C-alpha cells in the first residue's frame, strides 16, 4: 500500500486569519492568549483539511517563521535577547521584527532591539530569519512548541509526523557573526538533535521528517562529511527518520543521500525527476522512497495520467516502500481554490491550490491502491481540463511571439557609457552630494485601502477614485518636500502590489481574490498568474503609470521618479506558466515594460526606477547553472531599461539579496543607480565592493523598514561612512532599504527626518 503524506501546509489561513491576529497583537489590540488560541484553531482546521492522508505534518505551523522556530527549539538566541525574562513568544517577536506587542503590559519586557537578518528561503519568495552563530554558541533543547502541537494533533486523532529543519541545513543557512567556522558547531548541535528525537520517540512518534534542502545544492567535501557525521550520530534514535529534500535535483549528491542511515528519503520529483531511476539502484532495499509528484511551488493542475504512467511501475517494484507527497511544503501556494469567485470556470479548471493538490494526491493514492477505474471520472475530468488549456486561444498571441523573435542585442544597449551618461544626468538633475530618495511606496493607509475596496466593489466611481488617489499622491509629495528629500516618488497610493498592479494591465495575466501566500511574518502576497503571452493592453498601447507620475511631477519642481516593476521580478513573483521556458516569458515581459519606460520618458520623466527586487532569488540552486539564468535575466532588464536617452537616469532596486557572488552580473545590468538592502547586515553586503570595482552609483539601504524601530541620525551616518570606505562618496545615495507601504506615517516621518539630517551631515563632513 502506497503511503500518501504531506510535507507542510500553509499556515496563514484561507482568510489570512494569522496575519490579522499577529498585527492586532503587535498593536496591543488582542492578548497573547488570544493569539495563541487563534494558532491552535488554525492548526486544528488545517489538520482537518488534510484528513485522508496517511501521515500529516506537525510543527510546520509557525507564528512567524519555521527557521526561527528551530532556533528557539535549539536554544540558539542572539546574545542581545538572551537576558529577556518574559514570555517566550514576545522574545520570539523581538528576534523576528525588533519588538513585540505595544501597550503598557509589554512595555517593560519588549523594548526594541535589532531584528534578526532576513533573507530568501532558497529560491523562493519566502523569507526566513537567519540563525546567528559565534564560536561561543551553545545549544539547549526547548521542545515545548513541538510537544504542544503533537498533543493537539493526537487529541484530534491525527497520525502525526513532526517536521523539523535538519542540523546540516540549519548550520548552512545561518551566519557566523565572527570569524568562526559554522561547521565547528556541529558536534555541539548534534546532541541536542539526538535529545529531541529521543523525546519525540518517548512521546510515541514513529516517523519524523527532517528537512535537508541543501542536499540539492553543490556541497564541498566538508559539508558532505557533515551529513555523514550528523546522521550516523542520530541513527540510534528510537524512531524513523524521513530525510526530506526539495527545490531541485540531488544530482551528484544522490549516492550521499541514498546511503545516509535513515529510514526514508523524500525527493522533489518535479525538479529532480531525472534522479528517480538512478536512486532506485542506489537506495538500500529497506528504505522508503518518497516522491514529490505534485508541484508544491506552482498552481497548475497536475497531469495525473502522466504521473500514473511512470509511478505505477515504481509501485509494482517498491510496494509499500513507495510514498507519494507534494514536491515540498505547500507553504508556497494559496490555500483553497474553492473560495475563488473572480476567476471564470474554465480558468479555474486549470488550477490547483493547496487543498486541491491534496485532492490530487488522494486520487493518485487511490489509483495505485485500487486501480485507475476506481477514480476514472476524476482522471477524465483532469485530462479534459489539461487539453482545454493547451488549446486555448487565451494562452497564445502570435504577435507577441513574433516580437520576441525580433529581439536583437542592440535593444539592450544604452547610447553611451556610464561616465558620459552620469555627466549629462548630473547637469540636468543638479543633485547634491549624498542625494536622498526613497524606494517608491509610502504608507498604504486605511483611507487608501478603503477607497480601493469601494472602487472595486462599485461603490466609488472612477472619477471619485481618481480624485482620492490624487489627494494621497499630493500628500506624499508635500511630506517629501517638507522632509527636503532630493528625488521624490509619487507614493504608489494607487497600487495594491508591485507585481499585481502591473499584471492587471497586461494581457496574459489572471488574478485571484484569495490566493494569498506568506512572504514573511504577517506579510502576505497574492502572486498573479502568468498564464499566456504577455503584452500591454489595447494591442500594447495602453500606458500603465504615466498619468499618476506626470500628475505627481506637476506638483513639484524636484525630480520625480517613475516607478516600475522589472520583468525578472514580475516573473519570479508570479505563478508562471509551465508550458514554455521562463526565459521566453521574461522576454515578453521585458518588451511590455520597455514600452512603459519609453512612454514615461516621452512624458518628461527623467528618473525612472525599474525594480528587480527578485533578481537573485531566481538563481538556480546549483552555481553551475547560474550563468544561463543570469544571461537571460540581465538581458531582459536591459531590454526593458535601455531604450532611453543618456539624460534619463535609470534606477533599479534589489531587496534582501546576498548578491556578492553575482556582482559582475549586477554591474552588467548597467543601471545608473542601484539601491539595495544592507541595514540588517550592517553593510556586510558591501563586502563585494572590496574586490569588485562597481562602476555606477549605489544607494545602500540605511535603515530596516521591516522593523518599527526608528533609526538614529548617528547610526545612519555610521553606516554611510562604512559604505564610503568601499565606494567613492560621489557615487553614493542615501535611502531606506525597501518601500514604506507597510509602515505608518508616524514611523516614516521621524525615520526619514533622521535620514535627511544624516545626509546633510555627511555633506558637511565632505566639505570640512
| Annotated binding-site residue? 573 | yes
| Annotated binding-site residue? 738 | yes
Q: Please state, in angstroms and rounded to a whole number, the distance separating the CA atoms of residues 404 and 641.
A: 16
Place of cell 541513527: 235
Q: What is the DSSP string of 585-654?
A: HHHHHHHHHHHHHHHHHHTT--EEEEE-TTTGGGS-SSGGGHHHHHHHHHHHHHHHHTTS-TTSEEEEEE
Q: Please state, in angstroms and rounded to a whole number, the distance separating the CA atoms of residues 365 and 372.
A: 10
User: Of these residues, 106, 127, 332, 706, which one is catalytic?
Assistant: 706
* Dihedral (Cα; 274, 275, 277, 283), 10-degree rounding: 180
Locate the DSSP E strands across 101-225.
118-120, 127-129, 132-133, 160-165, 175-176, 207-211
Are 593 and 563 in contact by the 8 Å Cβ rule? The answer is: no
Nearest to 425 by CA among 662, 206, 731: 731
| Annotated binding-site residue? 266 | no
| Annotated binding-site residue? 117 | no
| Annotated binding-site residue? 18 | yes
**Phi (first) and psi of residue 162, to 5 degrees:** -55, 145
- 3-state secondary structure (DSSP) of residue 506: strand
DSSP one-letter code for 726: T
Are 330 and 10 in contact by the 8 Å Cβ rule? The answer is: yes
The Cα-based distances of 647 to 8, 319, 331, 597 in angstroms read 51, 68, 45, 14
| Annotated binding-site residue? 16 | yes
Q: Please state, in angstroms and rounded to a whole number, the distance separating the CA atoms of residues 406 and 403.
A: 5
The Cα-based distances of 702 to 660, 664, 735 in angstroms read 18, 23, 6
Q: 66-70: which pairs have CB atoms within 8 A and are 24 or more residues apart? A: 66/8, 66/128, 66/163, 66/165, 67/121, 67/128, 67/129, 67/130, 67/131, 67/165, 67/170, 67/173, 68/92, 68/95, 68/96, 68/116, 68/128, 68/129, 69/145, 70/131, 70/164, 70/165, 70/170
Burial class of residue 757, CB neighbours in 10 A (0-12, 13-18, 19+): middle
| Annotated binding-site residue? 120 | yes
Side-chain-facing half-sphere of 338: CA atoms under 13 Å: 9
Are 134 and 34 in contact by the 8 Å Cβ rule? The answer is: no
| Annotated binding-site residue? 655 | yes
Angle subtended by helix axes 186-202 and 221-234, to nearest 10: 30
| Annotated binding-site residue? 235 | no
Q: Please state, in angstroms and rounded to a whole number, the distance separating the CA atoms of residues 97 and 101.
A: 11
- The neighbouring-strand residues paired with 300 are 351
In 10 A of CB 227, how many CB atoms? Answer: 23
Nearest to 495 by CA among 514, 472, 517: 472
Q: Please state, in angstroms and rounded to a whole number, the distance separating the CA atoms of residues 37 and 136.
A: 37
| Annotated binding-site residue? 504 | no
| Annotated binding-site residue? 440 | yes
| Annotated binding-site residue? 492 | yes
The Cα-based distances of 14 to 8, 311, 619 in angstroms read 15, 32, 30
Q: What is the DSSP string of 534-561?
A: EEEHHHHT--SSHHHHHHHHHT-SS-BE
- Bridge-based pairing of strands 264-268 and 132-133 is unpaired
Q: 409-412: which pairs have CB atoms within 8 A and are 24 or more residues apart? A: 411/594, 411/638, 411/639, 411/642, 411/643, 412/635, 412/638, 412/639, 412/642
Distance separating the N- and C-terminal Cα atoms of the chain: 79
Q: How far is CA 675 from the centre of its chain?
A: 18
Active site residue 332: no
Q: Residues annotated in the binding site for L-methionine, as ranges?
A: 439-441, 492, 611
Q: Which residues have a catalytic role annotated? A: 706
Binding residues: 16-19, 120, 439-441, 492, 523-524, 573, 611, 617, 653, 655, 677, 738
Binding annotation for Zn(2+): 653, 655, 677, 738
Binding positions for 5-methyltetrahydropteroyltri-L-glutamate are 16-19, 120, 523-524, 573, 617
Amino acid at each position: 500500500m502506497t503511503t500518501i503524506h504531506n510535507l507542510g501546509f500553509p499556515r496563514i489561513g484561507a482568510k489570512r486569519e494569522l496575519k490579522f491576529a499577529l498585527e492586532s497583537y503587535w498593536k496591543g489590540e488582542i492578548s497573547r492568549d488570544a493569539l495563541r488560541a487563534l494558532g491552535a484553531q488554525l492548526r486544528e482546521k488545517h489538520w482537518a483539511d488534510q484528513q485522508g492522508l496517511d501521515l500529516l505534518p506537525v510543527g510546520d505551523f509557525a507564528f512567524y517563521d519555521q527557521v526561527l522556530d528551530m532556533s528557539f527549539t535549539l536554544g540558539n538566541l542572539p546574545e542581545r535577547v538572551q537576558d529577556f525574562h518574559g514570555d517566550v513568544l514576545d522574545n520570539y517577536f523581538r528576534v523576528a521584527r525588533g519588538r513585540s506587542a505595544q501597550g503598557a503590559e509589554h512595555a517593560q519586557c519588549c523594548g526594541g532591539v535589532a531584528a534578526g537578518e532576513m533573507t530568501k528561503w532558497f529560491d523562493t519568495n519566502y523569507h526566513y530569519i537567519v540563525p546567528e552563530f559565534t564560536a561561543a554558541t551553545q545549544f539547549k533543547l526547548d521542545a515545548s512548541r513541538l510537544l504542544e502541537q503533537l498533543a493537539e494533533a493526537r487529541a484530534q486523532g491525527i497520525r502525526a509526523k513532526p517536521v523539523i529543519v535538519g542540523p546540516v541545513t540549519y548550520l548552512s543557512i545561518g551566519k557566523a557573526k565572527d570569524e568562526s567556522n559554522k561547521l565547528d558547531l556541529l558536534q555541539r548541535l548534534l546532541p541536542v538533535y539526538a535529545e529531541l528525537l529521543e523525546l519525540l520517540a518517548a512521546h510515541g512518534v514513529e516517523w519524523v521528517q527532517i528537512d535537508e534542502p541543501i542536499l540539492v545544492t553543490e556541497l564541498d567535501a566538508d559539508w558532505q562529511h557533515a551529513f555523514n557525521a550528523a546522521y550516523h550520530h542520530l541513527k540510534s534514535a528510537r524512531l524513523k527518520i524521513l530525510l526530506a529534500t526539495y527545490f531541485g535535483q540531488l544530482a551528484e549528491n544522490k549516492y550521499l543521500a541514498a546511503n545516509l542511515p535513515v529510514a526514508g528519503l523524500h525527493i522533489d520529483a518535479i525538479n529532480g525527476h531525472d534522479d528517480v531511476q538512478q536512486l532506485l539502484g542506489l537506495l538500500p532495499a529497506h528504505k522508503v522512497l518518497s516522491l514529490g509528484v505534485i508541484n508544491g511551488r506552482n498552481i497548475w493542475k497536475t497531469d495525473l495520467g502522466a504521473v500514473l504512467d511512470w509511478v505505477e511501475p515504481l509501485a509494482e517494484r517498491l510496494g509499500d516502500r513507495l510514498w507519494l507527497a507534494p514536491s515540498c511544503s505547500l507553504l508556497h501556494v494559496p490555500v483553497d481554490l474553492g473560495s475563488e469567485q473572480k476567476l471564470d470556470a474554465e480558468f479555474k479548471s486549470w488550477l490547483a491550490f493547496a487543498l486541491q493538490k491534496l485532492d490530487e494526491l488522494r486520487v493518485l493514492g487511490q489509483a495505485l491502491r485500487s486501480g485507475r477505474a476506481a477514480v476514472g471520472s476524476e482522471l477524465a475530468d483532469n485530462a479534459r481540463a489539461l487539453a482545454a488549456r493547451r488549446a486555448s486561444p487565451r494562452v497564445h498571441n502570435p504577435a507577441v511571439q513574433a516580437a520576441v523573435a525580433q529581439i536583437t542585442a542592440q535593444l539592450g544597449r544604452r547610447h553611451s557609457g556610464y561616465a558620459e551618461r552620469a555627466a549629462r544626468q548630473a547637469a540636468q538633475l543638479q543633485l547634491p552630494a549624498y542625494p536622498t530618495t526613497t524606494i517608491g511606496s509610502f504608507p498604504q493607509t486605511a483611507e487608501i485601502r478603503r477607497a480601493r475596496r469601494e472602487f472595486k466593489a462599485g461603490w466609488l466611481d472612477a472619477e471619485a477614485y481618481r480624485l482620492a488617489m490624487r489627494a494621497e499622491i499630493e500628500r506624499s509629495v508635500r511630506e517629501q518636500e517638507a522632509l527636503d528629500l532630493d528625488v521624490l516618488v509619487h507614493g504608489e497610493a494607487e497600487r495594491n502590489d508591485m507585481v499585481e498592479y502591473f499584471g492587471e494591465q497586461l494581457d496574459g495575466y489572471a488574478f485571484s481574490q484569495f490566493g494569498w501566500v506568506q512572504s514573511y511574518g504577517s506579510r502576505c502576497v497574492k502572486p498573479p498568474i502568468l498564464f499566456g503571452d504577455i503584452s500591454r493592453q489595447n494591442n500594447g498601447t495602453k500606458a500603465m503609470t504615466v498619468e499618476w507620475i506626470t500628475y505627481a511631477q506637476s506638483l513639484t519642481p524636484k525630480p520625480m521618479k517613475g516607478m516600475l516593476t522589472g520583468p525578472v521580478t514580475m516573473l519570479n513573483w508570479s505563478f508562471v506558466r509551465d508550458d514554455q521556458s521562463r526565459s521566453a516569458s521574461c522576454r515578453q515581459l521585458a518588451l511590455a515594460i520597455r514600452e512603459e519606460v519609453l512612454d514615461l520618458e516621452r512624458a518628461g520623466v527623467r528618473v525612472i526606477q525599474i525594480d528587480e527586487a527578485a533578481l537573485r532569488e531566481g538563481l538556480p540552486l546549483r552555481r553551475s547553472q547560474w550563468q544561463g539564468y543570469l544571461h537571460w535575466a540581465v538581458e531582459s532588464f536591459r531590454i526593458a531599461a535601455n531604450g532611453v536617452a543618456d539624460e534619463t537616469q535609470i534606477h533599479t532596486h534589489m531587496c534582501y539579496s546576498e548578491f556578492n557572488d553575482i556582482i559582475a552580473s549586477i554591474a552588467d545590468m548597467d543601471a545608473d543607480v542601484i539601491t539595495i538592502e544592507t541595514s540588517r547586515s550592517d553593510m556586510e553586503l558591501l563586502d563585494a565592493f572590496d574586490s569588485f570595482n562597481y562602476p555606477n552609483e549605489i544607494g545602500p539601504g540605511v535603515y530596516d523598514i521591516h522593523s518599527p524601530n526608528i533609526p538614529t541620525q548617528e547610526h545612519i551616518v555610521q553606516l554611510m561612512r562604512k559604505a564610503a570606505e568601499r565606494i567613492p562618496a560621489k557615487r553614493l545615495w542615501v535611502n531606506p532599504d525597501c518601500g514604506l507601504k507597510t509602515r505608518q506615517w508616524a514611523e516614516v516621518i521621524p525615520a526619514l527626518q533622521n535620514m535627511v539630517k544624516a545626509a546633510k551631515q555627511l555633506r558637511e563632513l565632505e566639505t570640512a
